[in-house]
Structure 1
C-alpha cells in the first residue's frame, strides 16, 4: 500500500494525511516511560509491523492505537501497559471537555442522576443546591488540572483510587471535628458578629450547641461531633435547677414574710451546699442551716417540697431543651441545598443525676420525634457508649432478661448505674433506629488513663463520628477524641486489584486446571498490589496534608480562632496552621472486600475461611503501610473501612466497563462496603458479627458493623439488647441495628408499610433507612448504587 494515499480519520471526524513519525513518537514515549532506553531498532520494527497491518486506505486513530497495543503486548507487555494507561488518561482528559457540559446540563434540568444525588443530605434541585453542585463539579475539574500531581489524578480518574471530597481540596479544609464543648462553654466563644458568654441554663446550653454545630460546619466538609454530650449538658441542668430553687425560695419567703431575699446570695449557698439536683439529707440540712444567715428559715418539709418542684421544673426544661436540640439540628441549614449539619453526639457514661437526666430526656424526645406526627429525626446521629461497670455488666444483663416485662426491667436498680439507660437506649433504637452503640471496653478502644473517679474521665473515652470515622490514637499528643478530627481520606479499589491479580495469575500458571496454584499466585499478586496501592495513597495523603497545612488560620475563624481544633487558638490570623494539623488523621480506605474475594476465589468471606483469611491479610498489608508512614512522617495514618455513598457505584461502573460482567463482582450496581459481609448473604446475626468483628481492630481509622432486623424490632426491645450484648462480647468497636421504619404522610401511621398504608391506603410513605451511618427518609434522594444496595439488603436471623 502506498503510504502517501493513507488518510487518518481523527476523533472529531476530520481527516489528515498519514504520518509515520506520530506513531513512532507515541511508541517511543511508552518505551521511555517504562525505562527502556536505546531500543531504536525495536521501536522501528513495532512501528512498521503496525503500519503493515493497515488494510484500507482510511483508518481511524482508535484503530491505529488498537494495533499498537496489540503489537506491544506481543513484544513488550510492560510497555503495552504504560501505553494503555496513557491512552486511557488521554481519553479521560478528552472526554472531560464534553462531559462537563453534560454534567452542567443535567444540573440545570435537575435530572435524577448520580451527580445530583451524590449527597442524600442535600436537595440538589433547589437554586442553592444547584449552585452547590455547579461549584462542586467545576472545583473538582480545577483540582484535577492544577492541584493534584499527575500520578494521583491519573489513579483517581482511572478508578484505581478515589480521593474523597475533591471539591473541597482547594479550600485546604479538613474533614471533621470532635468538640471539647465544656472548654467552649466555660471560656465563651466568638462568632463573626460578636462573642457568646457562658450559658446559664440547660436551654442555653442546648441552643448554643446547635449554633456551634452550624457555625463550624461551614469551615469543614465532613461531620461534626460532640464526644460527651451528657457530661457537657449536665452543667446546664444543674444551673437550671439552681435557678428554679433560688426563684422558688424567694417566692416562698416573699409570700410568707413579705420580704424580697437576695437570689444571688441564695444561688451561692446552693452551689456551696447542694452539688447535685438529687441531694442527701445531710446536704439538705447543711443548706437549710446556711439559709439562716440570710434570715431565711425553712423547715425540712417545705425545703423538700421546694426541691421536688425545682426538680420537676428542671426535668421539664431539660426535656424541652433536648426537644429543641433535635428539632434545630433537623431544620437549621448549614449550607446551600437545604443541608443540615452532619451532626453526631456520644453519650452514656455520665452517672451524675444531671447527666442521667440529659440522657433520659434526650431518649424520650427522640422517640417522640419531629412534628405533630412524630417523624423519626435524621440528626443528630446518636451513639450510646457501652462501658463495663458504668452502663453494662453481664450480671445486670442476666437480671434484666429474667424480667418478663422489659418495661419493668427498665425501672429496676442495677450494679452498673447507667444499665437502665442502656435498656432505654435499646428501646429508642427499636423505634427510631438511633442510638448506635460504641463499646469502650473493646481492647483497642480502651485508654489506660480512664479513671471512674475522674470527673472529666470523658477526655479518655473514645467518641466517634456517626458515619464511623474514628479519631483516638495520637502520635502528636494526647490519646483522646477531643479537639481533633480527620484531615482527609482516600479509598483503594480492592475488587479491581483482585480481578487483575486473578487474570495475571491465570496467564502465569502453566496448568490453569490446577486451581490451588492459580489461587495461590493470585493471592500473592493481590496482596502485593494492595501494598503498592496503599503506598501510593499514603503519598497522596501526605501531599494533601502539606497543602492543607499551608492554610492561614484566618481561613477558619471559628475553628482556629476559638481553639475548636486544639492548638488553633494560639495562632495569629495570618499564620499558617502548620503543625496544628498534626493531631488529625489521614485515612487509607478500601471498598469491596467481599467482591474482591469473589474475584479471587469465587466465594465471599462470610462462609469461606480462605476468603476471610485473605481479606484479613490484605487489610493487615494496609496496616503495615500505615505503620511505615507513621514512622516516616510522624503523622496519624490509619486504615479506614470507607463509608461509601457517592463512591458506592463509581468503581463498579468503571470496572464493569473494563472487565465486563463478572458474577458476584461487577454484576451489580455497587460494591459491598469495606469488610462487610455481602448485604444479600443469608447469615445469622451472630455469625455476621463474628465475621466482621476482628476487622474492627485493624481499621482504627473507623469502622461499623450493621445487622438487619425485620419490622418486629419495634415490638422487641429484648432482641435489640441481645444484639448489643453479642457485639459487646465479640469485641465489636462500633455497631448499629437496622430495621424498617415507615411512616404514612397522610395519616401518620407508623410500622412496616409495604405498598400502601394499611389504615388509609395512601401511597405517600416515608421510608426511613440508614445510608453510610446516617438516616434519610426519602430513598429517591439516594444515588442509584445505594438504592440498589438497599433493595438487596436481607434480614438477619
Structure 2
C-alpha cells in the first residue's frame, strides 16, 4: 500500500498524514539510548518494514508503535526494551499532562470536586483560592518528580502511602507549632515592618495573640496552638486591673483633695502591693496601708469600692478582649483562599483569679457566638482535665446530683477549677467546643508536674485541635512549648490487608477460612513493619531536606525564637539541628476497613480483629523506637487526621481491587483506629474500644462520640461522657452533636429539612470534620460528606 495515502489516527482522535520520518526518529532515539549511533541503515530498514506492513488506509499511533516494538524485538531485544521503556515514559507523561489539564480546567470553571474541596478551611472559588489550588497541584507534581526519592514517590503515586502536604515540600517548612507565648510577650517580637513591645492590657494581650497566630501561619502549613492560654493571658488581666485601680484612686483623690501622688508613683505602689485581682482582705489591706503610709488620705471603704469597680471594669474588658479574640480568628485571613488560621488554645489548669477570669469570659463569648450568633469555627478550644485542679470524684458526684445548682454556681467545689469544667461542658453543649485533654492519662503525665509549681504549665501536654500531639523529646525537656511536628506520612492499611488475604489464599488453596486468616494476619503485620520502615526512611529524607532551609525563609518563627533555638541563628544560617526537637509522624488510615478485609468484620465486634489492629499499631511503634535510635529523631505514631486522604486511598483501591463489601464499597476509609462510623455501639463501648490506642499513638489521636438531639438541653450528659473518658484513659476526646443555623432568621438548633421558625431551607450545618469545625457541610469533599451521612448516634 502506498504509505503516502495512509492517515494516522492520533490519541485525541484527530488524523494526520503518515510520516516515515517520525518512525525513523523514534527508532533512532531507542538505538542512541542503548549507546548505538551507527545503525542508520538498520533504522531505515525497520521503518520501511513497518510502512510496508500497513494494509489499511487509517491506522492508530498505538498500532504503529506495536509494530515497531515487534520488529525491534526480533532484531535487537535490548534496544526493543529501551523503546518500550521510552514509550511507557511518554505515556505516563502524556497522561500526567492530561490529568493536570483536567485539574486546571476544574479550578477555572469552579467545579464542585474533591480537588477544590480538599481543604474545608479554604474558599477555593475565590481568585486567591484558585491561585492557591493552581499552585498546590503544580507544586505536588514538581515535588514528586524532583524532590521525593524514586521509591517513595512511586509508593505515594501508587497509593501505598500518602506523603502529606506535598505542595509545601519544596518550601522546607514544618507542619505546626505550640507557642511559648509568655516568652514572646516578655521580649516583644518583630515583624516585617517593625517591632512590637510587651503588651500592657488584656486587650493588647488578646490582639497580639491573634497577630502571632496570623503571622506565623504564613510560615507553616499546619496548625498553630497556644498550650496554656489561661496562664499566658493572666498577666494581661492583672495589668488591666492595676491600671483601673490606679486611675480610679487618682480620680478619687483629685475629687476629695488632700495629699495625692503622681501617677507613676501610684502605679508603682499598686504594682508592688496588688498581686491579684481577687478582693481578698489581705490584698485590700496591704494597698490601704501602703496608701496611708504614703500620706494619701483615703478611707478603707473607698478602697473596697474602688477595688470592686476596677474588678467589674476589668471583667468587662476581658470579655471584650475574648470576644475580639474569637472574632479576629474567624475573620483574619492568614493566606489565600479566605483561609483563617488553624488555631487552637489549650487551657483549664490556671487557678489564679486572673487565669480563671480569662477562661470564664472566653467560654461566655463562645456561647454568644459571632455577629449573628454563629458558632465560631476557630480557635479550637481544648479544656485540660487534671485531678486536683479541674477534676475530683467528689466534685463530680456533687455536680451530677444537682447540675442546675452546679451551673448556677451554687455549689462549692473541692478543686479550684471544677466550676470552669462545668462551664466548659455547658459551652460544648452549645458550641461543640471545648474538646477535652486528659492530663492524668498515664502517657500524658509528666514526672516534674507539681500543683504548687508556678512553672507547672510547661509540663502539661497540649495538642493541636486536629489531634497532633507533641510532648516527648529526645533532645530536651518533655514539653509542648516552642516545638511542633515536622511532617507526617500515612500508610494505606486496607491495601496491606487485602494483599495479605490474597497471598494467604494462594498459600492455602484448600480454602480453610481460619487458616487463611491466621496466615493473613502474619503477612499483614510483616507488611505493616516493612511499610512503616519505608515511611521512616522517607520522613528522614524529608527531614534532611528541611534542615537545609535558611533561617531567613522563616523570619518570624526563627528570628523571634518562636521555634525554640531559632533565635540563635543568623538569617543565612541553615536551620539544621534546630529542627531536631520537632516530631516525625508515621500515620495510618482505615483500621476498620483493614480488619473487615481479613476477618469479615471490624474491630468493634471481633476481638480477634481488635487485637490484630492493636498489634499492627504496636508494630509501628517498634519501628518508631528503632528509628529513634538510628537517627536520634522524635519519631511517633500518629492516628492520621485524614480529610482528603480518606477518599483518595479508597478510590485507588476500588479501581485496583474492585468493590469489596465493607472495605472499598464506600467513598471513604474510616479514620485511623476509629470504630466504624456506622457501628451502633454505645458511648461507653466506643470509648473503651478506642482508649487503648491512645497510649500507642503518641503523635496524636482523638476519640469522639456522636450525640443525637440538642445537647444544650442536657449539658450534664457532656460531663458524664467526660468522666467515662477520664476513667478509661482517653488522651484527647471530643463530643459531637448537630448544630444547625437558619441563614434567614438565625434560629439555631437541630433543623431537619426546613427551619421550624421561618420555613427557609437555607440551613448552615456545622459539623466536626477531623478535630476542627467547618462553616458548613457544603465545604467538605465528597468522601467526608459520605462519612458524615453514615455517622450513627451513640447512646
Same fold (TM over 0.5): yes
Q: Which residue of 2 aligns with 1:664?
A: 662
Is the deviation greater in 596-605 or in 279-288?
279-288
Equivalents in 2 of 1:593, 1:85: separation in Å? 37
CA distance 1:112–1:89, shift in 2 (3 Å): farther
Q: CA deviation at 1:279?
A: 4.2
Structure 2: state its 5+ residue gaps: 1-6, 34-54, 70-83
2:410 matches 1:435: no
Equivalents in 2 of 1:87, 1:776: separation in Å? 46
Q: CA deviation at 1:61?
A: 6.0
Say if 2:259 and 2:295, in contact at 8 Å, map to a contact too. no
Please give the secondary structure, in 1, of the residue aligned with 2:735: strand
2:116 matches 1:116: yes
Equivalents in 1 of 2:781, 2:399: separation in Å? 42
Equivalents in 2 of 1:536, 1:480: separation in Å? 28
Please give the secondary structure, in 2, of the residue aligned with 1:112: coil
Equivalents in 1 of 2:613, 2:521: separation in Å? 10
Q: Which residue of 2 aligns with 1:286?
A: 286
Please give the secondary structure, in 1, of the residue aligned with 2:768: strand
Q: Which residue of 2 aligns with 1:765?
A: 763
Please give the secondary structure, in 2, of the residue aligned with 1:505: helix
Say if 2:406 and 2:419, in contact at 8 Å, map to a contact too. no
Q: CA deviation at 1:149?
A: 1.1
Normalised by the length of structure 2, the TM-score is: 0.90
Q: Which residue of 1 aligns with 2:784?
A: 786
CA distance 1:660–1:460, shift in 2 (3 Å): same
Q: Which residue of 2 aligns with 1:553?
A: 551
Please give the secondary structure, in 1, of the residue aligned with 2:468: coil
Q: Which residue of 1 aligns with 2:613?
A: 615
Q: CA deviation at 1:510?
A: 2.7
Say if 2:583 and 2:635, in contact at 8 Å, map to a contact too. yes
Equivalents in 1 of 2:89, 2:436: separation in Å? 44
Q: CA deviation at 1:286?
A: 2.1
2:752 matches 1:754: yes
Q: Deviations over 1:517-575 (max 9, x none)?
A: 00011111111111101111100000000000000000000000000000000000100
Q: Which residue of 1 aligns with 2:482?
A: 483
* 1:200-215 alignment runs, 5 A limit: 200-215=200-215
Number of equivalenced pairs: 742
Q: CA deviation at 1:259?
A: 6.4
Say if 1:254 and 1:261, in contact at 8 Å, map to a contact too. no
2:276 matches 1:276: yes
Q: Which residue of 1 aligns with 2:452?
A: 453
Please give the secondary structure, in 2, of the residue aligned with 1:588: strand
Q: Which residue of 1 aligns with 2:517?
A: 519
Q: Which residue of 2 aligns with 1:315?
A: 315
Say if 1:182 and 1:232, in contact at 8 Å, map to a contact too. yes
Q: Deviations over 1:584-627 (max 9, x none)?
A: 00000000000000001100001110000000000011111100
Equivalents in 2 of 1:11, 1:276: separation in Å? 78
Q: Which residue of 2 aligns with 1:367?
A: 367
Normalised by the length of structure 1, the TM-score is: 0.90
Equivalents in 1 of 2:620, 2:64: separation in Å? 40
CA distance 1:85–1:525, shift in 2 (3 Å): farther
Q: CA deviation at 1:261?
A: 2.8
Q: Deviations over 1:80-103 (max 9, x none)?
A: xxxx99999986544211111111
Q: Which residue of 2 aligns with 1:593?
A: 591
CA distance 1:392–1:476, shift in 2 (3 Å): same
Q: Deviations over 1:338-370 (max 9, x none)?
A: 000000000000000000000100000000000
Say if 1:227 and 1:463, in contact at 8 Å, map to a contact too. yes
Please give the secondary structure, in 2, of the residue aligned with 1:735: strand
Q: Which residue of 2 aligns with 1:339?
A: 339
* 1:335-414 alignment runs, 5 A limit: 335-371=335-371, 373-403=372-402, 405=404, 407-408=406-407, 410-414=409-413
Say if 2:326 and 2:376, in contact at 8 Å, map to a contact too. yes
CA distance 1:680–1:62, shift in 2 (3 Å): farther
Please give the secondary structure, in 2, of the residue aligned with 1:491: strand
CA distance 1:349–1:87, shift in 2 (3 Å): farther
Q: Which residue of 1 aligns with 2:36?
A: none
Equivalents in 1 of 2:656, 2:63: separation in Å? 16
Equivalents in 2 of 1:620, 1:93: separation in Å? 40
Q: CA deviation at 1:759?
A: 0.5
Q: Which residue of 2 aligns with 1:80?
A: none
Equivalents in 2 of 1:100, 1:8: separation in Å? 26
Q: CA deviation at 1:59?
A: 10
Q: Which residue of 2 aligns with 1:242?
A: 242
Q: CA deviation at 1:280?
A: 3.0
Q: Deviations over 1:219-248 (max 9, x none)?
A: 000010000000000000000000000000
Which of 551, 567, 570 aligns to 1:569? It is 567
Q: Which residue of 2 aligns with 1:502?
A: 501
Equivalents in 1 of 2:119, 2:100: separation in Å? 19
Q: Which residue of 1 aligns with 2:579?
A: 581
Equivalents in 1 of 2:63, 2:661: separation in Å? 30
Is the deviation greater in 283-292 or in 739-748?
283-292
Q: CA deviation at 1:282?
A: 2.7
Q: CA deviation at 1:478?
A: 1.1
Equivalents in 2 of 1:64, 1:360: separation in Å? 74
Q: Deviations over 1:393-445 (max 9, x none)?
A: 11110111111525546442111110010011000000000000000000000
Structure 1: state its 5+ residue gaps: 1-6, 30-55, 69-83
CA distance 1:352–1:150, shift in 2 (3 Å): same
Q: Which residue of 2 aligns with 1:690?
A: 688
Is the deviation greater in 231-240 or in 289-298?
289-298
CA distance 1:89–1:748, shift in 2 (3 Å): farther
CA distance 1:94–1:626, shift in 2 (3 Å): farther
Say if 2:279 and 2:308, in contact at 8 Å, map to a contact too. no
* 1:534-545 alignment runs, 5 A limit: 534-545=532-543
Q: CA deviation at 1:631?
A: 0.3
Could you say what the CA RMSD is over the residues aligned between the two structures, in angstroms? Answer: 2.5
Say if 1:403 and 1:409, in contact at 8 Å, map to a contact too. no
